Amino acid sequence: SSGKVEVGYPRKIITTWHYVPPEASAAFTFNDDLYFFAGTDVLKFHSINMSATERQPSSQIWRHCPTAMRISSQSASYFPFHFTYLLQTVTLALFAAVI
């Protein structure tokens, strides 16, 4: 990665992902799936079969991650799981396992 933002980015999630709730404020990829965050809910998009799950509370997706973390808006944070959280307009509570 060059560390540079592609031309035309950042842009609103809703402009590309029409099925995502308009209040979605963050997204990340992991194992070829794309996760969108809307408040404390998560919507998982399967890039292989191009389908989305129902919106679910993040506590149901990451049941074995007891530690809650707050990450402020306008930031990017790296975690040892080899994925990056990219956040935009709001503060979002994310869950991460303690290593």
DSSP class of 50? T
**Measured between alpha carbons, how far is 13 from 7 in angstroms, rounded to an integer?**
15
- Report, as ranges of residue numbers, the positions in the chain whose pLDDT lies below 50: 66-75, 77-99
pLDDT, tens digit, 9 for 90 and up, residues 48-73:
887 788 888 877 776 665 444 444 44
93: enclosing H helix or E strand:
strand 92-96
- Tell me, yes or no, if the pTM score tops 0.85: no
Give me the pLDDT at residue 72, please: 43
Give me the pLDDT at residue 94, please: 45
DSSP class of 95? E
